[in-house]
Amino acid sequence: MISRCAIFLCISLAIPTHTQARMSDVICDDSTRMIKTLKETRGAKRQGMGLRDPETMLEVWVTVRNGDWVIVQNYANGTSCIVAMGEHWEGSLTNPA
Domain count, the chain: 1
Domain assignment present for residue 64? The answer is yes
Quick one: pLDDT band at residue 91, thresholds 50, 70, 90? confident
d(CA 20, CA 84): 12
Give the predicted TM-score (pTM) of the model.
0.69
The Cβ-side half-sphere exposure at 91, using a 13 Å CA radius, reads: 12
Host domain of residue 46: 21-86
Mean pLDDT of the chain: 81
47 pLDDT exceeds 60? yes
Mean pLDDT to the nearest integer, 1-23: 47
15 pLDDT exceeds 50? no
Q: Which of 43, 92, 52, 93 is nearest to 72 (CA)?
A: 52
Domain assignment present for residue 54? The answer is yes
Domain assignment present for residue 96? The answer is no
